[in-house]
Amino acid sequence: MTTTLRPGGAEEPLAGGGRTRRWQICVNGRPVGGLRTTALPRGDEWWGEISELEVAEGRRRGRGTVGALAAEEVLRGWGCSRIDVTVPAEAREALTLAGTLGYTERMRNLAKHLDRPPELPDGLTLRPIGRAEFPEWLAGARSGYLHDLLGSGLTERQAVAKADADHRQVLPQGPDTPGAALRRLTDADGSDLGSLWLHLRQDLLPDGSPLAWVMVVEVARAHRGRGHGRTLMLAAERECLAHGVHDLGLNVFSRNTVATALYDSLGYRVTRRTLGKQLL
Query: Which overall architecture, per CATH, does domain 3-103 show?
Result: 3-Layer(aba) Sandwich (3.40)
Q: At what angle do helices 92-100 and 63-77 cross, to 10 degrees?
A: 60
Neighbours of 33 (CB within 10 A): 21
CA distances from 200 to 107, 177, 244 (A): 21, 11, 10
pLDDT exceeds cutoff 90 at 78:
yes
If pLDDT is split at 50, 70 and 90, which confidence band does 70 have?
very high
Q: Is 52 exposed, middle or buried (0-12, 13-18, 19+ CB in 10 A)?
A: middle
Question: Using CA atoms, how far apart are residues 170 and 157, in angstroms rounded to an integer?
Answer: 20
Please name the helix (run of DSSP H) or strand (run of DSSP E) that holds residue 164, with its range, or none: helix 156-170
Q: How many residues does the chain have?
A: 280
Written as one letter, the residue type at 258 is: V
Are the C-beta atoms of residues 126 and 273 closer than 8 Å to each other? no
pLDDT band at 204 (very low <50, low <70, confident <90, very high): low
Mean pLDDT score across all residues of the chain: 91
pLDDT digits (tens, 9 = 90+) for 123-177: 999 999 999 999 999 999 999 999 999 988 888 999 998 898 888 888 999 999 9
- Domain 112-275 is found in CATH 3.40.630.30: yes
CB 55 within 8 A of CB 262: no
Report which secondary-structure segment, H or E, holds 248.
strand 247-253
The dihedral sign for the CA sequence 146, 186, 227, 241? negative
Query: Is the CB of residue 255 less than 8 Å from the CB of residue 152?
Result: yes
* Residue 112 binned pLDDT confidence (cut-offs 50, 70, 90): very high
pLDDT at position 207 is 73
> How do the domains of the chain map onto residue ranges?
3-103, 112-275
Bridge-based pairing state of the strands 12-13 and 19-27:
antiparallel
Could you give the C-alpha distances from 34 to 6, 56, 72, 85, 236, in angstroms and in order?
9, 8, 14, 14, 38
| Angle subtended at Cα 106 by Cα 102 and Cα 112, rounded to the nearest 5 degrees | 130
DSSP, collapsed to helix, strand or coil, labels residue 53 as strand
Q: Using alpha carbons only, give the angle 104, 110, 116 rounded to the nearest 5 degrees.
A: 170
How much is the pTM? 0.86
